[in-house]
Amino acid sequence: MLKNIFDSLPSLCSKDEEFKILLENKSIKIERIISTGQSSPEDFWYEQSQNEWVIVLDGEAVLSFENDNDNDIILKKGDFINIPAFKKHRVKSTKPDIHTIWLAVFYS
């Protein structure tokens, strides 16, 4: 069934990020994430057991990595990064007035 990654976007007033699994099996998960101004809590770090390759399809976000606060990564439309498993990171910010649309691929 044909679908479009940009269909069914949430309201820009949404208080929560939207996570939608597009494909998943035992070795890979592909997820669409939509942010509308959200960020990770100051004391929270993602530290997942899988590698994560992520691209920003639209919008803008800032990532921070533990013990590297002086080198935030700004991701704009088309930018992608591979985050190794167990690398502590957080979303420092996303733009509140536009959709930041991520495509995340989690793999072993």
List of the chain residues with pLDDT < 50? none
Q: So what CATH class is 18-107?
A: mainly beta
Helix (H) and strand (E) counts for the chain? Answer: 0, 8
Beta bridge partners of 82: 53
pLDDT of amino acid 81:
98
3-state helix, strand, coil split of the chain in percent (to 5) is: 0, 50, 50
Global pTM? 0.91
